[in-house]
A = this chain, B = another copy of it.
Amino acid sequence: MALTRKGQATRERILDAATELIARQGVAGTSTEDVRKAAGIGGSQLYHYFDSKQALIRAVITRQAEAPLVPGQPLMGALDSFDALQAWADAAVESQKPGRGRGDCTLASLAGELGPTDDETRQDLCNAFERWQSLLNDGLRAMRERGDLRPDADLDDLAMALLTALQGGTLLSQTLRTTQPMRASMNAALAYIHSFAP
């Protein structure tokens, strides 16, 4: 379905409302009627854009996959140096400060809630994680080519270590409501990357 510019703006507004509600209430606690009201659109209009709740959730995930790697932060430059990785880690810790709220619905919580049940949605989550992993991979490859990392550094392993640190840190920081888990997970992941310096 090709959308007019106005149609695209409405679709974005619906996705913004859905993302915020899911962040606050979880997927199960969010109805399409909640989303419709929050987006301020008329009765049947939502179904013009998303023909089911599942379609709406999948669109939220797909959009999150395009989002910067640290929720609530402006898109960061290429993560292709130790300094850039440290700035990324610091932003991840900052994003977990109490009072910042959940801010965004994270893939970590979506994965926790949706993982077991719905296979199509799980596939969207896989694609999102793989996209993030490949962004991290690109930066690490540049570092290896520049000689910042040893030739034997396994880039898939290092990129996945950064991604699991972000997800594990997010999950525990949001549950415990302190930045300590994110700080610890990022310390560990960055120390691991540093251990592959020549």
CB-nearest residue of chain B relative to A157? Answer: B184
Which residues of B sit under 8 angstroms from A129, Cβ to Cβ?
Answer: 172, 175-176
Q: Chain A, 144-176, contact with B by CB distance < 8 Å: what is the 0/1 string?
A: 000000000000111011011111110110111
A189 at the interface (CB under 8 A from B): yes
Which residues of B sit under 8 angstroms from A156, Cβ to Cβ?
Answer: 180, 184
User: Which of A29, A164, A169, A195 neighbours the largest number of chain B CB atoms within 10 Å of its CB?
Assistant: A164
> Of A10-18, A52-60, A82-90, A106-114, which stretch is located at the interface?
A106-114
A122 at the interface (CB under 8 A from B): yes
Which residues of B sit under 8 angstroms from A185, Cβ to Cβ?
Answer: 160-161, 164-165, 168
Which residues of B sit under 8 angstroms from A23, Cβ to Cβ?
Answer: 116
Which residues of B sit under 8 angstroms from A109, Cβ to Cβ?
Answer: 111-113, 115-116
Which residues of B sit under 8 angstroms from A7, Cβ to Cβ?
Answer: none
Q: Closest CB of chain B to A127's CB: distance in Å?
A: 10
Interface size, A (range): 35 or more
Q: Once the chains are docked, how many angstroms separate the CA of A172 from the CA of B115?
A: 10
Question: Within A1-59, which residues are at the interface with B (CB < 8 Å)?
Answer: 23-29
CB-nearest residue of chain B relative to A102? Answer: B116
Q: Is the pair B164, A125 in contact by a Cβ cutoff of 8 Å?
A: no
A187 at the interface (CB under 8 A from B): yes
Query: Which residues of A come within 8 Å of B, CB atoms?
Result: 23-29, 102, 108-117, 122, 125-126, 129-130, 156-158, 160-161, 163-169, 171-172, 174-176, 180-185, 187-189, 191-192, 195
